[in-house]
Chain A
């Protein structure tokens, strides 16, 4: 099996380096297409007028904010079970993006809420649970950055990620469990979509773009984390980019 081969940072670093530019490129292309469909092609909504168009941002980032937490929990379980060094780094690389997307979800939701509901914020179940998800991300980031020892930091973070993952289903089902202001899901796997197919296309394009963006930025970030963690390892010293950097520094020192 080739998978565990890449669990070593040494081999994952070049793989991530090859992957992320392509993912970023694809994400940009899909985002442009999604925005074009969403803002130019799709008609305005019968009830919500033009303001509904924020779903092309709001829904994809909200989905991804939840998915990233589950991905962090997945990596954490792998790390706790198999003691793979990469897992902690991947979890750490995903967290800032998750926090950013949760924040964007709250922000775009507030901007949508003002024209639709007449208020930026209500203590509705889904809004509140999204806020809590943001706090979970911030808690993870704060804990892992407060612990100096990398091994302890990774494993403590993994515990938080796994325990906190219990909250994600609560957020997801909150719309069903509490009948408050937030509307129910418009897209589901079991029923035919309740929205026009052109709107759905735009939203799915944007969702795919956010997925790829998150993957690209996480891989990009994990490369920096690997370099930082393994900075004394021989293989890092042999990397062309490190050699170039060192030569540059020496040259400046000489001049």
Chain B
């Protein structure tokens, strides 16, 4: 497991363009909104959390296509499925690597972008916290979609169609937490639900992924 994690991380670091792509996408989408809507500070503060969350969601979906694709093409995915280690654990290792290279940078960058939208320090902290809890959920759910559409023609569009409905609760509670914090209502309830989503998806998604991968490999 650790070996697989290390291998995936090393591969990603050698192909910098790939994971930098998702990060740049995140920054660019966030930068487009003020251009499109206008630089009114009050408006920007209002839409900031939602824009950053949607940008993170799209960036995460963008990077998911490559999660299993390269391994599927060069046959190493079959080797993984045949190995003695249980496939759900191996999938978890791959997912952790994926989140470390594509999710974590978004979390780290988010306060900076939030600052550009004029968010206060409390809202910035809450935004980073909800993204820290939420982006792993996006990766976990997204992996199911990526595994199901592996090797299917038109897979990319299909994947977004499958995933967007599943992403909605994460988006609702993630932005809801920031919103509640900005209104001074306290965000504990939202954060608890996000944590519950994280635990539930971490417990179930690797198994669903493994089942979907075995289908794709048959």
Contact = CB atoms under 8 A, between A and B. Distances in A.
Interface of A: 80, 128-129, 132-133, 135-136, 138-139, 142-143, 146-147, 149, 151-152, 155-156, 159-160, 163-164, 166-167, 170
Top-5 shortest CB links A-B: A139-B162, A139-B161, A132-B165, A135-B165, A136-B165
Given A143-B149, A146-B153, A146-B158, A152 B215 contact: yes
Given A136-B165, A152-B218, A170-B169, A159 B158 contact: no
Given A139-B162, A143-B158, A147-B152, 17 more contacts: A132-B164, A132-B165, A135-B161, A135-B164, A135-B165, A139-B158, A143-B152, A146-B152, A152-B216, A155-B211, A156-B148, A156-B212, A160-B162, A163-B166, A164-B165, A166-B166, A167-B166
A132 B161 CA distance: 10
Contacts of A138: 161
B215 A156 contact: yes
B166 A146 contact: no
Contacts of B215: 152, 155-156
Interface string B137-175: 000000010001100111100100110111011000000
Contact of B158 (A129, A142, A152): A142
Given A142-B161, A143-B158, A170-B169, A159 B208 contact: yes
The binding surface of chain A is classed by DSSP as helix
A189 to B, nearest CB: 26
Contacts of B155: 146
Contacts of A151: 218
Interface residues of B, number: 21
9 contacts: A135-B165, A136-B165, A139-B165, A142-B158, A152-B216, A159-B208, A159-B211, A164-B165, A164-B166
Contacts of A156: 148, 212, 215
A151 B169 CA distance: 31
B200 to A, nearest CB: 8
Contacts of B164: 132, 135
B144 A159 contact: yes
Contacts of B166: 163-164, 166-167
A160 B208 CA distance: 10
Nearest to B163: A139
Most buried by A among B169, B215, B216: B215
B101 to A, nearest CB: 25
B214 to A, nearest CB: 9
A246 to B, nearest CB: 34
Contacts of B154: 146
A128 B164 CA distance: 12
Nearest to A167: B165
B148 A159 contact: yes
For B152, B154, B211, which residue has the most chain A Cβ atoms within 10 angstroms? B152
